[in-house]
Amino acid sequence: GAGVSQTPSNKVTEKGKYVELRCDPISGHTALYWYRQSLGQGPEFLIYFQGTGAADDSGLPNDRFFAVRPEGSVSTLKIQRTERGDSAVYLCASSLGPPGQGRSPLHFGNGTRLTVT
C-alpha cells in the first residue's frame, strides 16, 4: 500500500495482559516514529527509529513499553502488564531520513485504538 499501515485498528485487552501493535511504514522511509494520543490531546512522542536502531526512546513512559524494528522496516510496539491508563490511540509515522538530509514531514497511519479494561 502507499501509506503507513497499522494493525490491529482496535484492540481491547484486560488489565495485566501483554499486547503487540504493528506498524508497516511507507516503503523506502528509513525513519519511524511511535506516538500516543489520549482523548482531547495532541499526539505525544514515544520512540524514534532510524533504520533498525532506536535513536531516541526518551518518550517511552516506563519499562513496560518496548519497541523493535529488527529489519529496518516493520516495527512492533510491545506493552507488558497493561494498565487502564495505557488506553489511547497509538500512532505510527514514517518519514524520509536520516536527519541532515533536510526536514521531511511525518506520514501517519490511522492508529491502533487500545482499550484496557
Contacting range for another protein; rule: CB under 8 A; set: 13-21, 63-71, 76-84, 95-103: 95-103
Note whether 73 binds another protein by CB under 8 A.
no
Contacting range for another protein; rule: CB under 8 A; set: 11-19, 69-77, 79-87, 106-114: 106-114
Alpha carbon distance 70, 67 (integer Å): 10
Closest contact distance (angstroms) between CB of 80 and another protein is: 24
Bridge partners, 56 (sequence order): 48
DSSP 7-32: E-SEEEE-TT--EEEEEE--TT--EE
Strands 10-13 and 112-116: parallel
Note whether 106 binds another protein by CB under 8 A.
yes
Footprint (CB under 8 A) of another protein, residues 14-43? 31, 33, 40-43
Q: In angstroms, what is the C-alpha Rg of the chain?
A: 14
55, 80, 85, 115: which one contacts another protein (CB under 8 A)? 55
- Tell me whether residue 20 or residue 44 sits nearer to another protein (CB atom): 44
Q: Whats the size of the chain, residue-wise? A: 117
Give the distance from CA 26 to its chain's centroid. 14
By the criterion CB under 8 A, which residues form the site for another protein?
4, 31, 33, 40-45, 48, 50, 55-56, 91, 93, 95, 97-100, 103-111
